[in-house]
């Protein structure tokens, strides 16, 4: 089964707002075997919405999802358009009205007419109360046997309602095929060289297995996809192909699972009962965020110091002034001292440090924008690595150094190299 997603909102086309809803919906659908065949981002305008809905109706999609355009103010025109499209009229839905009234009473606010209108729904549609907001979710039968599902534009409302209500409803009402995806992570292999190394293997892949190369930083994810009914048979087919890979790729094939490197590190730290702390300068909290994004991280992640200022490196991280004067704050020596002292302060087995110049200007020592060091204290030893990035934006550079620090940690503690 297929889905066609329509993201509605002028702010999505002016670039003011990044559409994250469509990505989330596509991912959720993918997991239950529904392929998204198109995502259209369009203006919140009556004619435009109607035309796009017509396009979707004549496509191969079984489900049409819209997001956005369900708010209370004048610039939201979707609901009337949906009613027109379904040759239906809008009526008040008592459940939705009760929900909105209750929400307002709880918040100590008075229900006004615009908010009351949130309970207006097409008469033949199923209106699902949105327990995260005021706009209901609409589920309707449209022409050509399509199911039309209208979701709000607010990301957390859409995400929560998809997970809790829409996905279970689809699963219970439709017989779904099965999409099997297996991912393998390859490191230290440029994409084109990897493709050459895999030429023979790729040419011999069964026709119903498709292969994608998905670069992610300095890693490449190889993804095999197969769709069908017989899960066991599909598993066998794909496994047979995957088993051939270690011989071709050697230890550059790091994982047979689609897994984040941070999750591998997390599992390792838990298993080995190791603790970790951070000292961030250039990455300014971004590295810590990678660690705290993993639920349950508090069993090994103790915390960190963001030393954005040289004085803080001196006074809190106890980096000797003389060392800074001799080598500057952006140096191998300072990165290593930061890592050693952080492990001491937090009493952890491991500590990572970052220092560098993100720009826009060179630092007080005239170190160039793009220079950075990552330090690592592990099992009584200290390591460091130098990185030089030119031509990156400030934001991109901070992200890159955070990723490099995580890869450095992975290589040292798990790969032992």
366 binds a copy of itself (CB under 8 A): no
17 binds a copy of itself (CB under 8 A): yes
Residue of the chain from 1, 11, 80, 365 that contacts a copy of itself (CB under 8 A)? 11
**Residue 87 Cβ, how far from a copy of itself at the closest point, in Å?**
26
Cβ proximity to a copy of itself: between 86 and 276 the closer is: 276
Residue of the chain from 137, 147, 265, 306 that contacts a copy of itself (CB under 8 A)? 306
- Single out the segment in contact with a copy of itself by CB under 8 A; choices: 119-127, 249-257, 259-267, 385-393: 385-393
DSSP SS3 for 128:
strand
- Single out the segment in contact with a copy of itself by CB under 8 A; choices: 91-99, 242-250, 259-267, 392-400: 392-400
Cβ proximity to a copy of itself: between 366 and 391 the closer is: 391
State the burial class of residue 102 (Cβ atoms within 10 Å of its Cβ: 0-12, 13-18, 19+). exposed
Cβ proximity to a copy of itself: between 118 and 140 the closer is: 118
267 binds a copy of itself (CB under 8 A): no
DSSP SS3 for 122:
strand
Residue of the chain from 148, 162, 184, 307 that contacts a copy of itself (CB under 8 A)? 307
Q: Which one, of 302, 375, 307, 306, lies nearest residue 337 by Cα?
A: 375
Q: Residue for token digits 């996809």? A: 225
Residue of the chain from 105, 208, 393, 415 that contacts a copy of itself (CB under 8 A)? 393
105 binds a copy of itself (CB under 8 A): no
- Single out the segment in contact with a copy of itself by CB under 8 A; choices: 57-65, 87-95, 106-114, 120-128: 106-114
- Single out the segment in contact with a copy of itself by CB under 8 A; choices: 241-249, 264-272, 311-319, 403-411: 311-319
- CB atoms inside a 10 Å sphere around CB 106: 8
145 binds a copy of itself (CB under 8 A): no
State the burial class of residue 2 (Cβ atoms within 10 Å of its Cβ: 0-12, 13-18, 19+). middle
Dihedral sign computed on CA atoms, order 47, 50, 54, 59 = positive
309 binds a copy of itself (CB under 8 A): yes
Residue 385 phi/psi, 5-degree rounding, is -145, 145
**Residue 287 Cβ, how far from a copy of itself at the closest point, in Å?**
7
| DSSP 8-state assignment for residue 297 | G
CA–CA separation, 51 and 400 (whole Å): 42
Residue ranges in 231-260 that form contacts with a copy of itself under rule CB under 8 A: none
Cβ proximity to a copy of itself: between 141 and 177 the closer is: 177
CA–CA separation, 54 and 87 (whole Å): 13
CA–CA separation, 179 and 1 (whole Å): 11
Contacts of 228 (CB under 8 A, 6+ apart): 177, 178, 180, 208, 234
Q: Residue for token digits 């065949």? A: 37
292 binds a copy of itself (CB under 8 A): yes
201 binds a copy of itself (CB under 8 A): no
200 binds a copy of itself (CB under 8 A): no
């Amino acid at each position: 089964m297929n889905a066609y997603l329509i993201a509605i909102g002028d702010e999505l086309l002016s670039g003011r707002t990044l559409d994250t809803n469509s990505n989330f919906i596509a991912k959720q659908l993918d997991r239950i075997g529904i392929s998204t065949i198109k995502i259209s981002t369009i203006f919140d305008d009556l004619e435009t919405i109607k035309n796009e809905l017509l396009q979707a109706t004549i496509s191969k999609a079984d489900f049409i999802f819209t997001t956005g355009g369900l708010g209370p103010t004048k610039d939201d025109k979707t609901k009337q358009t949906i009613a027109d499209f379904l040759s239906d009229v809008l009526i008040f839905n008592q459940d939705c009205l009760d929900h909105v009234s209750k929400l307002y009473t709880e918040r100590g606010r008075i229900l006004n007419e615009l908010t009351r209108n949130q309970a207006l729904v097409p008469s033949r549609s199923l209106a699902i109360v949105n327990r995260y907001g005021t706009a209901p979710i609409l589920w309707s039968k449209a022409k050509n046997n399509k199911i039309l599902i209208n979701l709000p534009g607010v990301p957390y409302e859409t995400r929560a309602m998809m997970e809790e209500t829409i996905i279970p409803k689809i699963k219970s009402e439709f017989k779904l095929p099965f999409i099997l995806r297996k991912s393998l992570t390859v490191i230290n292999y440029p994409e084109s060289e990897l493709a050459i190394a895999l030429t023979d293997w790729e040419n011999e892949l069964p026709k119903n297995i498709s292969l994608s190369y998905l670069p992610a930083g300095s890693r490449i994810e190889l993804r095999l996809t197969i769709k069908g009914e017989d899960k066991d048979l599909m598993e066998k087919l794909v496994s047979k192909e995957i088993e051939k890979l270690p011989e071709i790729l050697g230890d550059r094939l790091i994982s047979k699972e689609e897994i984040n490197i941070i999750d591998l590190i997390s599992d390792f730290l838990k298993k080995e009962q190791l603790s970790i702390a951070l000292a961030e300068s250039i990455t300014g909290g971004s590295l810590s965020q990678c660690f705290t994004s993993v639920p349950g991280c508090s069993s090994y992640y103790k915390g960190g110091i963001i030393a954005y200022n040289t004085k803080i490196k001196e006074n809190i991280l106890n980096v000797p002034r003389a060392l800074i004067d001799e080598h500057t704050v952006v140096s191998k020596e300072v990165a290593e001292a930061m890592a050693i002292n952080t492990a001491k302060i937090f009493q952890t087995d491991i500590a990572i440090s970052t220092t560098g110049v993100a720009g826009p200007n060179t630092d007080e020592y005239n170190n160039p924008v793009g220079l950075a060091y990552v330090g690592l204290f592990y099992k009584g030893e200290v390591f460091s690595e130098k990185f030089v990035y030119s031509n990156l934006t400030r934001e991109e550079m901070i992200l890159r150094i955070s990723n490099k620090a995580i890869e450095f940690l992975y290589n040292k503690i798990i790969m032992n190299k």
